[in-house]
Structure 1
Amino acid sequence: MLRPWLNSGIVRSLSLVQRPLYPVLIQRSFSSARTLHATPDRVPLRKQLKQEAKSLKARKKQRKESEEASRQTWELTVGVEIHAQLDVAAKLFSKAATSTSDAPNSNVALFDLAFPGSQPEFQAATLLPALRAAIALNCEIQPVSRFDRKHYFYQDQPAGYQITQYYEPFARNGYVDLYDYDGIAPEDGDRVRIDIKQVQLEQDTAKSQEYPPSTQLLDFNRVSHPLIEIITMPQIHTPATAAACVRKLQSILQSCSAVTTGMELGGLRADVNVSIRRRGEAPGQCSYDGISGLGQRTEIKNLSSFKAVEDAIIAEKNRQIRLLESGGVVEGETRGWTIGSTETRLLRGKEGAVDYRYMPDPDIPPLVIGEDVIAHLQENLPTSPDALLAQLTGPEYGIPIEDAKPLIELDDGARLEYYQDVVDILHTLQGDSGQSQPAALARIAGNWVLHELGGLLTKADRSWDAEIVPARSLAELVHHLQIKKITGPTAKQVLAVIFEGDRRPVAQILEDENLLLRPLSRDEYAVLASAAIALNPGMAMSIRSKNQLGKLGWFVGQVMRMGEKGRVEAPKAEEVLRELIFGAKR
């Protein structure tokens, strides 16, 4: 086992960092205090917040107008490269474990460190998730593929080259469809198809951590972790659609269990190639991936969020426009992006295939994939996100797309599985009572899973766990609400009790706490409604004279507060209030 975090630099003295700064801080503090008390025109906080909100809105409007103006003059072209860690137990060319949560440098084989004499041993199991991903992306699987060496010298790559598939990847010619509900730009219409040039297997590099000015620590646990690189064609023309493409690719990879984690946990990284050209002018001289007439591209590396993808493209596009409009020339460069920044930054000149000196790896034989393996994986591939969305918004479930998308995307599919369990149990319970209405029940269940239970999770700042509120408990709670044995407020109260750890059956909680609905008679509703109107005659008169039916809700709330908790039903309260206020049934 190696020492945790190998030190690749010189550890500097910390004496400068450790010098006390208290005198300076104290002096500045007193100075600030004097300035504060001496300022005659102090702006109230509420006014300040209002001004800031107004300023932010103005900046957004200006940015939108600027984006629209530049879109009319300049054509943006973007290609995306995704690097995703495969969900496997062993590394690509060694039997070392792929766990990234273990102690640094604890899962390292000799080959991972390029130890002289060590040889690569291709781990066949790593191919299966890669194939699932390629099939889900509609690619043509190549029966024979080969590995190449991509040469570059950097401390996170101990061999001096990375093993990849540049010339003959295992998958080619795929595509991904993006729809308006995926978040593409409005100007791109309802649907965009982005072609995928190829999907290739390759090694990941070591994880490095910098300690300025000259210290870097290296963790080789990540070296040779199996990656797939997905390379799209340069067919994207808006920043929002580029971000939607990355989001959709991640969703597809997760749906077929191909990857470990998404962008939020570092299991997926994106590079974007950005170029612009003036509309109406002669086509540019550059050609990428078979598409000619483009402007000079730059590459932005290692984007770690969907927002970063969109913001970095906007910043780079604006930089190139300013450069060209001032008479400058866009250079082929590799650039970086920092979250919260407004500018991309130069990392190095852009390398090409010649710079990397690609060559076939002489130590690794060709990779041969049988048709029987491909057929088996195709038959057993999980349902795609688009197919799931169609199913959830279709007649079986009938939930709105605004609810269907979160169910699919949240918690790597665990929330969707929980929801479907709730619906299945609910259908059984309602079927036993003879009141089954499948689509209506599915919509109600979606509301409780996403909004009521989701709201409790957000408020408590807890991550998803299906055992917090068992699916059967939630289904029984909704069932009691549907057959009118409890009111909505009571259902929410019981949900909160279960959320806090009460594991009694729902029926027992309702019985023990005397929460079962004991309906009020019509006369009892009339007494409560009359009392509410007597306390607020002016509002009642306003509703009657101006037909302001929207204000009835306020009276309903008053009646529910005045009545015995858990016994007042809002629809019945509103019905009686209408009769009393307007003098007859409406």
Structure 2
Amino acid sequence: MNSHAGSAANMPWKATVGLELHAQLAASQKLFSAASAKWNDPPNTNVNAVDAGLPGSMPRLNPDCVELAARAILSLNGRVQPMSYFDRKHYFYSDQPLGYQITQQQQPIGRGGHIELGPMDGLSYTKRVRIHQLQLEQDTAKSIHGMYAGHTLIDLNRAGVGLIEIVTEPDMETADEAIRFIRKIQALLRHVGVSSCNMEDGSLRCDVNVSVYHSTESRLSGTRCELKNLNSLKTIRGAIDAEVLRQTELIASGNVVQQETRGFDAQSGKTVLARSKETAPDYRYMPEPDLPSVHITEDWVELVRSSLPELPEAMISRVVQQYGLVREDVVTMLGEPGCIKFFEQVAKGRDPKRVAAWITSEVFGQLSYRAQRLSECTLSVQQFAGLFDAMSRKSITSAQAKQLLIEFMNGSAHTADELIKAHGWEVMDDLEQIRDLGVQLLAKHPKEAAEYRAGRQRRLNFFVSQIVAATKGQARPQDVSRIVKELLDARNE
């Protein structure tokens, strides 16, 4: 940070932040062709004439994508437009085989809506972020750099995959607000089945618009710069903070902020010029001549609305109240598609707090280790419920339950009881056998026993761990600790 940065931070400057989120739709086929939308299959295997931009090929709108877009705008508290149409956005780049992108700049499928942020989202205040519009558009191809020196390879699998672009109003003021908004959008779109929204694989991408203005002027008086190619929440946070600082320093020193498109260099922590910012005339928008306008009836909108699941805010409030959970745990489970339903099925007749704690710690830990989603793993409701039933009967220890969970998630189709029996994991209830092991162990380690009696209380842990290991984890640590302590203290009498 240069010497001017400190003084700039104390000046009465404020920032406005708006987002453009591009989410790949969870449709089996592309937006305008019958090709598979599996963009991560072997390169150039899911592509047809429309996607490749071959002369004479004609686009045909996929109705599944229209329904997914409608689900998205309705879940955002917005409205589905009774009439929308498509535009051509002209630009020439290697990832755009048509020479233009089909989008909905002028008359999108959705308008309005909002997301509420507040203390439960990690803010100490409330903030409403308004949605300007939600539009359908086709994705570009994927450019692959560095495989062959001096060459860029193109994979057309992604070309034509259906996207929704969610454009917010510039209602955010900090990087923190933007990050929390994105996280909430991710959870919402996953929950209603619109998109997987994984930034790590590109199914959610984000452009950010940032401007800085003097607190005595209109909040829209600043010059807007767009930040592109931000592929993680960490990068988005760093880019917004860096751009706000850059613009603040420029204005405070009497310079003018130019309208630009910029990238972010994570190594230097600064935004870098990519190109002069294009405006709408630069793209030469025109109505798409090969696609008719989309007309939607109110009856169809109500049908889509009725098919939506319980929306996140309502679900969070209900689950917190019904099961007595901490709201943060419910929000965490909500972020994993299908997890709340999984939790509720397992929690029937069981301790819901214990079930939630195991899901958010042990299950999520295993999913993270495996880079899996809950829907992709082999753990069933019956297996997980059986694990809790076994712990409730005190048939197994907590450590053994964790081993059971690992076997379930490794693909075992056996029940909890079957695996417990196969491994010989039944908890040892014969306390006299534990006592005999304790007597033998104290006789074998008189030095450690003497150290315990001399005041080194932690020596108790030595004896407990030895007996638990000798019984292959079948002895309950609390039983062992109590019995060994009785034996050691008896020698002092």
Give the 5 Å matches for 1:99-498: 99-184=38-123, 189-211=124-146, 214-279=150-215, 282-283=216-217, 293-396=220-323, 398-410=324-336, 413-424=337-348, 427=349, 438=350, 441-456=351-366, 468-496=378-406, 498=408
**Contact kept in structure 1, 2:27 and 2:37, CA below 8 Å:** yes
How far 1:485 sits from its partner (Å)? 2.9
- Do 1:149 and 1:360's aligned partners in 2 also have CA atoms closer than 8 Å? yes
Percent sequence identity over matched residues? 34
Distance 1:78 1:473, change over 3 A: same
Give the TM-score taking structure 2 as reference length.
Answer: 0.84
Whether the 8 Å contact between 2:387 and 2:416 is mirrored in structure 1 is: yes
- For the residue of structure 2 that corresponds to 1:373, the secondary structure is helix
- Partners of 1:68 and 1:479 in 2: how far apart? 62
Per-residue deviation at 1:340? 4.3
Output the TM-score relative to the length of structure 1.
Answer: 0.72
Q: Which moved more, 1:363-372 or 1:559-568?
A: 559-568
Residue type of the partner of 2:417? Answer: A
Q: How far did 1:419 drift?
A: 3.4
Counterpart-to-counterpart distance in 1, 2:40 and 2:132: 33
Match of 2:29 in 1: 90
Superposed displacement of residue 263, structure 1:
1.3
Letter in 2 for 1:74: W
Tell me how far 1:368 sits from its aligned partner. 0.6
* 1:231, distance to aligned residue in structure 2 (A): 0.5
Could you tell me which residue of structure 2 aligns to residue 559 of structure 1? Answer: 464
Comparing 341-350 with 489-498, which one deviates more in the overlay? Answer: 489-498
Distance 1:533 1:237 in 2: 68
Count of aligned residue pairs for this structure pair: 482
- The structure-2 alpha-carbon separation of the partners of 1:501 and 1:163, relative to structure 1 and needing over 3 Å to count, comes to closer
Deviation at 1:444, TM superposition (A): 1.6
205-214 or 302-311, which deviates more: 205-214
210-219 vs 246-255, which moves further: 210-219
Native 8 Å contact 1:174 1:197 kept in 2:
yes
Letter in 1 for 2:173: H
Q: Report if aligned partners of 1:298, 1:335 keep a CA contact under 8 Å in 2.
A: yes
Determine the C-alpha separation between the residues in 2 that align with 1:415 and 1:216.
Answer: 41
Deviation at 1:330, TM superposition (A): 0.7
Q: What is the letter of the counterpart of residue 399 of structure 2?
A: P
1:514-529 paired onto structure 2 within 5 Å = 514-519=424-429, 521=431, 528=438
Preserved contact between residue 164 and residue 200 of structure 1 (Cα < 8 Å): yes
Question: CA separation in 1, counterparts of 2:88 and 2:206?
Answer: 21
Distance 1:168 1:501, change over 3 A: closer
Q: Any conservation in 2 of the 1:203–1:227 contact (CA below 8 Å)?
A: yes
Checking the alignment, whether the CA contact within 8 Å between 1:100 and 1:221 is kept in structure 2 is yes
Do 1:556 and 1:570's aligned partners in 2 also have CA atoms closer than 8 Å? no
Checking the alignment, whether the CA contact within 8 Å between 1:75 and 1:276 is kept in structure 2 is yes
Tell me if structure 2 keeps the 8 A contact 1:275–1:296: yes
Structure 2 unaligned residues grouped into runs of 5+: none
Compared CA separation, residues 561 and 527, structure 1 to 2 (3 A) = closer
State the secondary structure of the residue aligned to 1:395: helix
Q: Is the 8 A contact 2:460 2:485 kept in 1?
A: no
Residues 238-263 of structure 1: per-residue CA shift (max 9 Å, x gap): 11111111221122111111125421
Q: Output the amino acid matched with 2:314.
A: A
Distance 1:517 1:334 in 2: 64
Contact kept in structure 2, 1:526 and 1:576, CA below 8 Å: no
Q: Highest relative contact order (Cα 8 Å, sep 6+), 1 or 2?
A: 2
Measured after TM superposition, the shift of residue 523 of structure 1 is 11
Cα displacement (A) at 1:462: 6.8
Quote the offset at 1:568 in angstroms: 4.4
Kindly state the Cα deviation for residue 474 of structure 1 after the two structures are TM-superposed. Answer: 2.7
Q: Secondary structure at the match of 1:201?
A: strand
Distance verdict in 2 for CA 1:124–1:518, change over 3 Å: closer
- Per-residue CA shift, 1:445-480, capped at 9, x if unaligned? 223334334445556777756664443233222212
Letter in 1 for 2:138: Q
Given residue 489 of structure 1, which amino acid in structure 2 is its aligned partner?
Answer: A
Letter in 2 for 1:236: M
Deviation at 1:542, TM superposition (A): 5.8
Whole-Å Cα distance in 1 between the matches of residues 398 and 488 of structure 2?
25
Please tell me whether the aligned partners of residues 93 and 224 of structure 1 are also in contact (alpha carbons under 8 angstroms): yes
Cα 1:172–1:476, aligned 2, differ >3 Å: closer, same or farther? Answer: same
Structure 2 CA distance for partners of 1:466 and 1:68, relative to 1, 3 Å: farther
CA distance in 1, matches of 2:20, 2:144: 24
Report the CA distance between 1:155 and its aligned residue. 3.2
Distance in 2, matches of 1:416 and 1:352, equals 44
CA deviation vs aligned residue, 1:142-188 (integer Å, no higher than 9, x gap): 1112222223333333443322222221211110122334344xxxx
Note the aligned Cα RMSD (angstroms). Answer: 3.6
Q: Judge conservation of contact 1:108–1:221 (CA < 8 Å) in 2.
A: yes
Q: Deviations over 1:417-454 (max 9, x none)?
A: 44344334xx2xxxxxxxxxx4xx12222233343344
Cα distance in 2 between the residues matched to 1:514 and 1:106: 50
